[in-house]
Amino acid sequence: MIEPYLNLKGRSNEAIDFYEAVFDGTDKKIMRLSEMSANPDFPIPENMKDWVAYAEITLRGTVFHFSDTQPDTVTNGIISLMTRFDTIESLMETYGKLLDGGAALMEPAPQSYAKMFTWVRDKFGIDWQLICE
């Protein structure tokens, strides 16, 4: 089993709530930096206490993991997540939700390999490929 782990730049709380609503997420667990054992050598800045040290939530049957990283962390930008849909209507509904604050990289359209396909970069910079075969 492969489970995605998303490292977001101080936006994990917002992303988890967003994905929970978009994908009817379940089994949400969050541990914030403020809940970790204190280490005097590495004090947590006040503005980061609500950041996510570790979280997980089940989205469409897959466990997703989250944590927050420093704003200057460089990400690879080469990964996209694909999710399959039974109906074009459910694909389009999810597409509309992911598009809120995001951008279409490929507009929804029938393809030779699918009844409908689209590619969206959401407001957190995560790429989603949505397909109905």
59 with 95, same domain: the answer is no
9 with 32, same domain: the answer is yes
For residue 74, being part of any structural domain is answered with no
What percent of the chain clears pLDDT 70, i.e. is strictly above it? 98
Ordered DSSP codes for 2-39: ---EEEESS-HHHHHHHHHHHTT-EEEEEEEGGGSPP-
19 with 58, same domain: the answer is yes
For residue 110, being part of any structural domain is answered with yes
64 with 85, same domain: the answer is no
64 with 84, same domain: the answer is no
Average model confidence (pLDDT) across the chain: 92
Q: What is the mean pLDDT of residues 26-30?
A: 98
Q: Look up the pTM and report it.
A: 0.86
The domain that holds 84 is classified in CATH as 3.30.720.110
Final residue of a structural domain among 33, 48, 68:
68
63 with 96, same domain: the answer is no
Res 57: pLDDT: 98
As a whole number of angstroms, the distance between CA 35 and CA 38 comes to: 8
Q: What is the mean pLDDT of residues 3-14?
A: 92
Res 78: pLDDT: 76
The domain that holds 17 is classified in CATH as 3.10.180.10
Give the domain range for residue 109: 80-132
Pairing mode, strands 62-68 and 52-59: antiparallel
86 with 64, same domain: the answer is no
Ordered DSSP codes for 78-118: --EEEEE-SSHHHHHHHHHHHHTTSEEEEEEEEETTEEEEE
39: CB partners within 8 A, 6+ apart: none
For residue 73, being part of any structural domain is answered with no
pLDDT tens, position by position, 74-129: 776 678 899 999 999 999 999 999 999 999 999 999 998 999 999 999 999 999 99
